[in-house]
Amino acid sequence: ACRGSVRELVNFVKKRDKRMAVVAAAAAKREAEREAARAAHRAAQDAQRRARVEAARAAEAAAAAAARAARGGSESDSGDAEPSDYDYIEEEVYECVVCDKIFKSSKQLRNHERSRKHREAMDALRREMLAEEEEEMLAEMAEHEAAEATVIPDTGDGGTALDGATETGNARTESSEAAEEEE
């Protein structure tokens, strides 16, 4: 009980003390600066990665052009030649779509997939998708029920065509019996 009272007193004093507000503001400013630096660093890394990929593609294109020239250029002379399988070599991209991260190797990706953060993100995504699916199903059921409610025909005598069916359980039987009696 005494510890709780002391904690409450400390929290009360912290709220009222102007020095604590200055310290908290400075800490928030430092954290914002760190986050801005991290974002700039990530952007620079992404730009470098894109530049490396573009350079590799340019080198591959140059190598493919050199290979075509070495083969005698017969394909490029015809004008309607299709590119060979060797012209476009795609670089394997290791990406976690859930966490929106790109990795350099499959081993890094597998390690990431076993991480707690990835599993939590997967669980959150799974829950979100299930909730959306449930909402869609409920909306679809409501539309279906509304459509069924508008399909029941009106007989013109104040009731519906199914009013007689509820008494015997079969509307066709009643209508056929009535037709037979009239004959």
Kindly state whether residue 115 falls inside one of the protein's structural domains. yes
What is the rounded average pLDDT of the residues 108-115? 93
Specify if 169 maps to a domain.
no
Based on the domain organization, do 110 and 64 belong to the same domain?
Answer: no
* Same domain? 114 vs 58: no
What are the pLDDT digits (tens) for 167-181? 444 455 555 555 555
| Residue 51 tokens, joined | 């530049």
In tens, the pLDDT along 68-99 reads: 888 876 544 444 445 555 555 566 888 898 88
The single-letter code of the amino acid at 138 is: L
Long-range Cβ pairs for the range 122-130 (8 Å, 24+): 122/98, 125/98
The number of folded domains in the chain is 2
- 80 contacts 86 by C-beta, under 8 angstroms: no
Task: Please indicate, yes or no, if residue 108 is contained in any of the structural domains.
Answer: yes
As given in the structure block, the two tokens for residue 5 are: 């009272």
Residue 103 lies in a domain: yes
Q: What is the pTM of this model?
A: 0.33
Q: Examine residue 163 and state whether it is found in any structural domain, yes or no.
A: no
Same domain, 67 and 117: no
Which domain range does residue 3 map to?
Answer: 1-73
Residue 122 placed within a domain? yes
User: Does 69 lie in the same domain as 12?
Assistant: yes
User: 60: which residues sit within 8 A by CB, 6+ positions away?
Assistant: 88, 89
Burial 91-106 (b: 16+ CB within 10 A, else e): eeeeebebbeeebeee
Check if the beta carbon of residue 113 is closer than 8 Å to that of residue 96: yes
